[in-house]
C-alpha cells in the first residue's frame, strides 16, 4: 500500500476507579486520517480539518508520535499526513490519543507491520506526553487495541486487553467547555489515605472481574471513584445532577471521562443507553451550555482501516 485511510476512535479513560490504568474504546465516535507514502524522508502534516492545530511536527501530537516510530526503524521513505478531527480538543474522550494512536497505526501498516499493536502504544505515548505533560497509556492503549485495557505497568510497558461484554454500551455527554488535561492533573493530591486506597483497589478488582465474567451488576458496583472524581467533579457544570439522572435511568455507573468535561455512563443494552442520553440532554438543555451527546457500543477492534 502507498496510502491508507483510517478511523481513530474516541476513548473513555480512568472509568471511575482506574485513574491512569483503565480505558475503553467507542465504536462510532472518532477522527479520520489519511497517510501517504512519500519519496521524501521524514514526516509532514499537510492538512488538518476540524480543529486549529499546528502543522509543525514537533508541536503536534501526531507528528511527535510518528517521529518516535520512525526513529525506531530504518525507512527509505517518508509520510504525508492529513488529519480530520471530529473529537474536540479538551473533550475528555481522547482527542490527542486518537491522533497519536492513529498515526502510528497507519504508518506501521504502510511499513508492512514491523510492530505489534501493543508495541505501537509506546510510540503513541510520546504524543500524549506533548498534550498532557506526562506519558500515559490509558487512552492510547484502548484506541490501538480496542475493548477495555489495563495498564498494569508503564515501565516496563505491560498492557492487558479485555474483550467487552457484548451488551455493554456507553453514553457520553460533552459540554462545550475545555478542561486541559495538564490543568486537571494539577488539582490532584499526591497523597491519599489508606482507607481510600483500599476502597479503590477493591473497585478496580471488581470492575476487572465483572468485565471478564460479563457480570453487569458487578461492573456497576465497581464504577466508583474514591480519589480523583471528588476533586475534578466541581469543575464540570451539573456533574452530580447528570450522574444522578444517569443512575435513575438505568446506568450501571457514571463518572468523569478522562479529565473531563465529558461525563460517561455505562449501561446494558442500547435502549437504556439512549434513555440515559435523553436524561443527560434534559439537564444540559436548561444550562444554555452547548453540548454533544454520544451513544456507542464498546469497540473491541480499536483503530482500523476504512
Active site residues: 128, 181
In the Cβ-directed half-sphere of 73, how many Cα atoms lie within 13 Å? 21
Contacts of 287 (CB under 8 A, 6+ apart): 175, 237, 238
C-beta atoms surrounding 194 within 10 Å: 7
C-beta atoms surrounding 38 within 10 Å: 16
d(CA 147, CA 298): 6
DSSP assignments along 132-193, one per residue: HSS---TTHHHHHH-SEEEEEEETTEEEEEEPPPTTEEEEEEEES----HHHHHHTS-S---
Query: Which residue is it, cell 508520535?
Result: 65
Amino acid at each position: 500500500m502507498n496510502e491508507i485511510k483510517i478511523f481513530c476512535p474516541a476513548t473513555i479513560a480512568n472509568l471511575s476507579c482506574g485513574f491512569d490504568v483503565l480505558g475503553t474504546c467507542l465504536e462510532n465516535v472518532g477522527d479520520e486520517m489519511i497517510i501517504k507514502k512519500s519519496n521524501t524522508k521524514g514526516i509532514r502534516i499537510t492538512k488538518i480539518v476540524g480543529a486549529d492545530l499546528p502543522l509543525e511536527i514537533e508541536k503536534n501530537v501526531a507528528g511527535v508520535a510518528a517521529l518516535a516510530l520512525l526513529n525506531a526503524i530504518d525507512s527509505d521513505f517518508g509520510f504525508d499526513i492529513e488529519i480530520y478531527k471530529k473529537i474536540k480538543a479538551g473533550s475528555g474522550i481522547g482527542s490527542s490519543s486518537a491522533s497519536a494512536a492513529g498515526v502510528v497505526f497507519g504508518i506501521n501498516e504502510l511499513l508492512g507491520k514491523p510492530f505489534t499493536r501493543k508495541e505501537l502504544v509506546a510510540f503513541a505515548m510520546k504524543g500524549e506526553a506533548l498534550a498532557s505533560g506526562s506519558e500515559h497509556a490509558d487512552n492510547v492503549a484502548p484506541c490501538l487495541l480496542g475493548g477495555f485495557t489495563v495498564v498494569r505497568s508503564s515501565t516496563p510497558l505491560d498492557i492487558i486487553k479485555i474483550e467487552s461484554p457484548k451488551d455493554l454500551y456507553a453514553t457520553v455527554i460533552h459540554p462545550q467547555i475545555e478542561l486541559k488535561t495538564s490543568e486537571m492533573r494539577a488539582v490532584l493530591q499526591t497523597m491519599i489515605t489508606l482507607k481510600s486506597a483500599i476502597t479503590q483497589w477493591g473497585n478496580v478488582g471488581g470492575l476487572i472481574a465483572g468485565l471478564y465474567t460479563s457480570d453487569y451488576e458487578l461492573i456497576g458496583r465497581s464504577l466508583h471513584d474514591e480519589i480523583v472524581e471528588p476533586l475534578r467533579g466541581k469543575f464540570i457544570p451539573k456533574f452530580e445532577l447528570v450522574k444522578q439522572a444517569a443512575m435513575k435511568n438505568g446506568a450501571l455507573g457514571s463518572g468523569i471521562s478522562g479529565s473531563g468535561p465529558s461525563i460517561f455512563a455505562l449501561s446494558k443494552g442500547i435502549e437504556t443507553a439512549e434513555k440515559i442520553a435523553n436524561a443527560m440532554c434534559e439537564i444540559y438543555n436548561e444550562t444554555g451550555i452547548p453540548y454533544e451527546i454520544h451513544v456507542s457500543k464498546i469497540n473491541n477492534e480499536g483503530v482500523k482501516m476504512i
